[in-house]
Chains A and B, each alone.
Chain A
Amino acid sequence: MSTFQDFPIRWGMVIDIDKCTGCGACVVACNKENNIAPQENQLQRIAGKGFPTRFKKIEWLTIYELTDGSDTAYLPRPCMQCGMPSCVSVCPAIATDKNENGGIVSQIYPRCFGCRYCMASCPYHARVFNWDQPVWPEGMEKQLTPHTSVRSRGVVEKCSFCHHRLMYAKDAARVAGEDPEKLPDGAYVPACGEVCPTGAITFGDVKNPEHAVYELVRSPYTFRLLERLGTDPQVYYMSKRAWVRLQGDNYLANEEAQAGEGGAHHG
């Protein structure tokens, strides 16, 4: 198994599931920020099937509903920007890579030829495929942002932690005469984190003690999705509810009591 570099900066997102109301503002903000087109064709295909198919709607950030029968929780799922990304090692075109300080997994759309190995390998279903050429209803093309390039039919796309915002934050630091590699807490926050009305999404460098996420990832209530696969995600979840933490991974019956206590290993 190939190993990936450990970078001095590790951009991480901490999502407090107990604060998330499932309102979907993060999804809308993400779609607008990253030029994701409304997808009539996909919606029709999904409606025709009546169940989720591989023709799923293109979303970089999807909200899942969790339930234990009586209680409900919502789990927003961006790309995990894994420390050991399974998508990168399977890509035959090096269209996706993890090679930049900060650890954000890149996706270069013109380089991708749509084989979708990365989608098959991603345990989080964070990647989506463009089955159709994106079509914006008349007038909506004026709302396209210059931040993210639009993707054509036939390529895979995924969340980039709004990487352009990191670039803008670095540029602002350069002009202000500060070190672009030592951004203060809050200088770089993805669109979903900025828009979240309940403040469920915290973002920062988990290796930097001056950032709020540094403390949060060390909380006993913090867990990561499918942690035991060894993908080392850079997205962390928090919940004081043991059943929510239990659903973050697959546990055998004899492991559940131990895992539910909290204090799951993280790093």
Chain B
Amino acid sequence: MPFFIGFVAILLVGWWWFPRVLFSVEQQPLRFSHLVHVDDAGMACEDCHYLNEDGSFSGLPSTESCAECHTEAMGEDPEEQRFIDEYVNEGKEVPWLIYQDQPDNVFFSHAAHAAQDCTTCHPDVGGSDTPPLHYRNKLTDYSNGGYRIVFGRGVGVDPAYSRGTMKMWECERCHAENGQSNACYVCHR
């Protein structure tokens, strides 16, 4: 019996308490709803997330491009009004939290991975009304990738892959499986 109690206690520490201590939880600066834009406004993903002609990727729309529609409130949502007051009228960019932010020495090319499904690496937020919480590892500053962690594992993550920001071994494995080069400078800079 004492063994069992200790066993459960240690499991709780490892699976429940430690992840809670390790990760800080942040909410996006705005409650952006993909659902409203995709379903109600009928926008396509490529209207905001697209490849530029020079090969670079436009991941997050600028406040300027949002203001093409949102110069004035189009709905009733107080978040939209807050966006217009705090960002559009102030001419500021929204400091969005990036779920899959890679470190400085990684060169990732969206153009080279355009044939892949976005959700291979990114959390599937296309139908979300509230953006997922941003869990940040307090020691490394890495995000956990936008997945909710239950019992030490991300919910909705392919078990073959780790949760969180993509690791080097994950890049390497996919490259190896698809016959792509794993030379250092293919991904590093």
Q: Which positions in A face B, CB cutoff 8 Å?
A: 97, 99-101, 104, 106, 108-110, 147-150, 160, 163-164, 167-176, 180
Contacts and interface: CB of A to CB of B under 8 A. Distances in A.
B186 A147 contact: no
Contact of A149 (B111, B112, B189): B189
B183 A172 contact: no
A109 B105 CA distance: 8
16 contacts: A97-B184, A99-B183, A100-B185, A101-B181, A106-B183, A149-B103, A160-B185, A167-B109, A168-B54, A168-B55, A171-B54, A172-B53, A174-B109, A174-B111, A174-B112, A175-B55
Contact of B112 (A97, A100, A170): A170
B77 to A, nearest CB: 34
Contacts of B103: 149
Contacts of A167: 107, 109, 189
A210 B109 CA distance: 27
A18 B112 CA distance: 40
Contacts of A109: 105
Contacts of B55: 168-175
A78 B56 CA distance: 27
Contact of A150 (B104, B183, B184): B104
Contacts of A110: 105
B105 to A, nearest CB: 4
Interface of B: 51-56, 103-105, 107, 109, 111-112, 114, 181, 183-186, 188-189
Contact of A97 (B56, B104, B183, B189): B183
Contacts of B51: 175
A171 B188 CA distance: 15
Nearest to B55: A171
A164 B189 contact: yes
B25 to A, nearest CB: 28
B105 A106 contact: no
B188 A170 contact: no
Given A149-B104, A167-B109, A175 B53 contact: yes
Given A149-B103, A172-B54, 15 more contacts: A100-B183, A100-B184, A106-B183, A106-B185, A106-B188, A147-B189, A149-B189, A160-B189, A168-B54, A171-B56, A174-B109, A174-B114, A175-B54, A175-B55, A176-B53
B105 A108 contact: yes
Nearest to A168: B55
